[in-house]
Structure formats: C-alpha cells, structure tokens
C-alpha cells in the first residue's frame, strides 16, 4: 500500500551565506599554510620519512624498486641517466596532479549521472537533480591545473616519464624500446589535443544540458526537456569512449611501461562511486539545513543502492585486475603491484590496503541493510569512508610513479587536498545558489516527489 505524501513547495532558493564563503576561503588559506609548513619542515629535516631532509636525497629505495622494473622491461639504460631521481618537488607535483584527477572525477560524474537518468527517462532522482547538475561547474579548475602542469616542462617530466628527451630515439642513450612502441599514442601534440578535447566537450555538453534545464524552469516547455535529453545522449556517447581514454591518459600513462585492459573500468568505477557519495553528502547536508524537503527517503534509499552497488562493482573490477595479473605472473604487469606492495620501502603498502578497506568493507557492512540506506548517520559514515577511500585509491594509483620514494601522508597532502575541497564546495554551493533548488517544470518532478518504494 502506497504511503501518503504531502506535496512540498517547489519554489526554493539556496542562500550561500557570506559566513560560509568566509569559512571556505579561510579553509583554503589554511590548506596553503599547511603545505608551506610541510615543505619547510621537510626541507629542514625536522619531520618526515627518511630521505626527506632537504628534499633532494637520492631515491635509493626508488632506484632499487624501479631498477627491478627496468630490468623487467629491459630499459635500464635511461634509469642510469638519473631521470628517476625523486625530490620534494615530485611529491608536490604528484599531489597536485592526483587531486586534480580525483576532483575532476567528482565533477564530471555529475553530468554523467544526470545524463544516464535523462536517457533512461528516470523520474526518481528529479527532486535532487540540481545537486548533480551543479557538480560539473568545478570541472574547469582541475582541468586548468592538469593542463598547466603538463605545459611546464619541469612538472611534465616529473609526471610523465615518456616525455623525456630522446626516450623514443633509437640513437639516444635514453632510448626505451617499450615506450617508443607506444609513440603513436604517447606523443605530446596528440596527448594535449586529447586532454583539451575531453575537457572542452565535457564542459560544453554540461553547459547545454544545464542551459535547457534552467530554461525549462521559465518556459515549462517539454521542448527544453527534450533538448537536455538530446545533449545527454551526446554526452553518454562521447563519455563511453573518453572515460576510458582519459583514464589511460591521466592515470595509466604515469606508468608508461604498464598496461591493463581493465584500467578504464576500474578508473571509471572509482570516479563514479566517489561522485555518487559526494552527491549524497551534499543532499543530506542541505536537508540538515532545511532545504530539499521534497527529497524523500525513497529517493535517498535508491541513491544509497547505487552507492552500495557501485562499491561492489569497484571491488569486482579491482580484484579482477589484481587477480588476472597475479595469475598471469608477467613481469611487465606484476611490477605495478610490486611497487605498491613492496617498493619504496613499503611506504605505499598502507594506502593500498586502506583503500580496499574503506571502499569495500565499509560500504558492504554499513549499506547492506535496507534501513541503513535511509539512516542519515550511516549514510554519512559510508559516504565519507568512500570519499576518503577513493582518495587513497587515486593516491596509490598515481603517487608511486610520480613521487616514488618521496611519497608520504603529511601536511602537504592534507593541505593540497583541503585547498581543492574548499574550492570544490565553494563552486558547487555558488552554482546551487544560482537556480531554483527544484527543476520545477521537469515532467517527472511530480513522480519524484511521490516516489515510494
């Protein structure tokens, strides 16, 4: 028997208070200060893992671990040239790159979420549609950081080993036959073209979907809904390809010797479940503040189901990739996990297992029961675990190849992540304040307000 529902007002505006803006700006400043203090302490040798003092120690552990990699790949010559020596700058650049990719995922998943719901003609999510619709507004920030980091030769060489001079030239001492075999894909002009294409097309399609969604509020025309749906189809078609190629370019290319056919799915599942957790946390926070009364527990439960399901899916892909490589026991493949489990004096071992526990064990135990997906305390706990867990997932995915023996979890990591998080919240809340909180003329809004499972 269906429950009775009161129909809430669909006229609602979000007030992005000056006090909250001030707190977020202060949070960003504190983040910058933490980075500065962290760099100072490490440079002075007062705090940090062995080898951090001065930020210029040779990467003994890295050379050992990576030397094994080079032996496996038959590319030891250029290692002797010193290209693998890591400094404190590797750690800073690595954190900027890693956080950019992580927050880029949170942003783009907003348009991915509304696109597949548009195409499926789903109605259940319409009451909180403005939340995922706001997330891509931040996309431009990590995109700009990524392009700037790649444009600067010093940081580009730190992140992408394949960009070093002569690495694809058979006459050079830096020649690497394996990387040279990938030159048709890994070359700077084509790489930049792909990055710009991803960011511009993702941004453009989101802007079109958003534009017609807002026009729908004014006109009430079904034509605007259909145009949003049309652009959602274009986005899904483009994202079906670029979600994988972007994963290769942004994350897998930092380990240029390594390749996994499952990496695109693994990367997308990590982005997706993180984005869903961010959407849920924003909704619950807004409801706690008295907004979004029309988002009922059935819609919350359905979103909780997606979070639970895609946490399991991420685990499935993670395990499949790991197990296949473990079972095949190919040197050029196993080195990826060897570096994370045993390389660089074992400093990436903890992030590797923390990621697995937070992204699989926590959601499995917390979200399995029906009631827990309607309990805001459990949902907050699970969503924070997922957001932190997937931060660790991207950390262990990227930092061993970039920061090498300079990696660690300290003030630099906390500071840079705080800056990104405060910027992300500022942009999203600012975007939410620019439109009605409900897509009030959406044809499925009524269905969503009375959604009952």
Task: List all residues 6 or more positions away from 104 whose beta carbon is below 8 Å from its beta carbon.
Answer: 139, 142, 143, 146, 250
Cβ atoms within 10 Å, residue 181: 11
pLDDT on residue 268: 96
CA atoms of 391 and 400, how far apart (whole Å) = 14
In angstroms, the CA 85 to CA 71 distance is: 17
Mean pLDDT split into 10-residue runs, the chain, 453 residues: 64 91 96 94 75 43 43 41 71 96 97 96 93 96 97 94 89 89 93 97 96 91 93 97 95 90 94 97 95 92 95 94 84 85 89 93 90 93 96 95 89 96 97 93 89 82
pTM over 0.85: yes
CA separation for the pair 257, 162 (Å, rounded): 9
Question: pLDDT value at position 78?
Answer: 43
Angle at CA 204, nearest 5°, toward 200 and 209? 150
Tens of pLDDT, residues 203-244? 999 999 999 999 999 988 899 999 999 999 999 999 999 999
| 3-state helix/strand/coil string of the chain | CCCCCCCCCCCCECCCCHHHHHHHHHHHHHHHHHHHHHHHHHHHCCCCCCCCHHHCCCCHHHHHHHHHHHHHHCCCCHHHHCCCCCCHHHHHHHHHHHHHHHHHHHHHHHHHHHHHHHHCCCCCCHHHCHHHHHHHHHCHHHHHHHHHHHHCHHHHHHHCHHHCCCCCCCCCCCCCHHHHCCCCCCCHHHHHHHHHHHHHHHHHHHHHHHHHHHHHHHHCCHHHHHHHHHHHHHHHHHHHHHHHHHHHHHCHHHCCCCCCCCHHHHHHHHHHHHHHHHHHHHHHHHHHCCCCCCCCHHHHHHHHHHHHHHHHHHHHHHHHHHHHHHHHCCHHHHHHHHHHHCCHHHCCHHHHHHHHHHHHHHHHHHHCCCHHHHCHHHHHHHHHHHHHHHHHHHHHHHHHHHCHHHCCCCHHHHHHHHHHHHHHHHHHHHHHCCCECCCCCCCCHHHHHCCCC
Contacts of 366 (CB under 8 A, 6+ apart): 372, 378, 381, 382, 385
Can you tell me the distance from the alpha carbon of 169 to that of 294, in angstroms, rounded to the nearest whole number? 62
Residues recorded for the chain = 453
Q: What is the pLDDT of residue 52?
A: 41
Q: Where are the domains of the chain?
A: 104-447
Q: Which two tokens stand for residue 207?
A: 């802007």
**Tens digit of pLDDT for each residue in 346-398?**
889 999 999 999 999 989 999 998 889 999 999 999 999 999 999 999 999 99
Query: For 184, what's the count of Cα atoms within 13 Å in the CB-facing half-sphere?
Result: 1
CA angle 408, 409, 411 (to 5 degrees): 115
Instruction: Give me the pLDDT at residue 333, please.
Output: 82
pLDDT of residue 312: 95
């Amino acid at each position: 028997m269906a429950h009775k529902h009161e129909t809430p007002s669909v006229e609602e505006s979000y007030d992005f208070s000056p006090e909250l803006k001030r707190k977020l700006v202060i949070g960003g400043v504190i983040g910058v200060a933490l980075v500065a203090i962290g760099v100072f302490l490490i440079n002075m040798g007062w705090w940090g893992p062995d080898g951090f003092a001065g930020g210029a120690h040779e990467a003994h552990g890295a050379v050992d671990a990576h030397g094994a990699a080079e032996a496996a790949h038959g590319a030891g010559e250029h290692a002797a040239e010193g290209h693998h020596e890591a400094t404190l700058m590797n750690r800073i650049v690595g954190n900027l790159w890693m956080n950019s990719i992580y927050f880029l995922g949170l942003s783009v998943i907003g348009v991915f979420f509304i696109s597949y719901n548009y195409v499926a003609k789903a109605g259940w999510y319409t009451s909180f549609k403005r939340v995922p619709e706001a997330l891509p507004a931040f996309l431009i920030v990590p995109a700009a950081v990524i392009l700037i980091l790649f444009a600067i030769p010093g940081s580009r060489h730190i992140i992408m080993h394949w960009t070093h001079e002569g690495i694809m030239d058979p006459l050079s001492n830096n020649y690497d036959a394996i990387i040279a075999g990938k030159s048709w894909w890994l070359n700077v002009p084509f790489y930049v073209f792909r990055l710009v294409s991803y960011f511009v097309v993702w941004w453009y399609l989101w802007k079109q979907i958003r534009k017609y969604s807002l026009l729908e509020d004014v006109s009430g025309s079904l034509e605007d809904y259909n145009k949003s749906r049309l652009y959602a189809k274009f986005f899904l078609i483009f994202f079906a390809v670029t979600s994988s190629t972007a994963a290769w370019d942004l994350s897998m290319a930092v380990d240029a010797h390594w390749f996994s056919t499952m990496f695109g799915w693994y990367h997308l599942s990590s982005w997706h479940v993180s984005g869903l957790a961010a959407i849920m946390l924003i909704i619950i926070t807004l409801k706690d503040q008295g907004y979004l009364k029309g988002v009922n527990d059935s819609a919350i439960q359905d979103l909780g189901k997606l979070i639970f399901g895609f946490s399991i899916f991420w685990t499935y892909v993670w395990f499949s990739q790991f197990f296949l490589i473990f079972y095949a026991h190919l040197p050029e493949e196993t080195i990826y996990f060897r570096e994370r489990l045993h390389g660089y004096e074992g400093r990436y071992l903890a992030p590797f297992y923390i990621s697995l526990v937070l992204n699989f064990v926590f959601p499995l135990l917390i979200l399995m029961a029906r009631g827990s997906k309607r309990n805001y305390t459990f949902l907050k706990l699970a969503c924070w675990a997922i957001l932190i867990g997937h931060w660790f997932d991207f950390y262990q995915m990227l930092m061993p190849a970039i920061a090498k023996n300079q990696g660690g979890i300290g003030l630099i990591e906390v500071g840079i992540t705080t800056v990104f998080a405060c910027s992300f919240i500022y942009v999203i809340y600012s975007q939410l304040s620019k439109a009605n909180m409900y897509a009030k003329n959406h044809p499925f809004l009524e269905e969503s307000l009375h959604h009952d499972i």
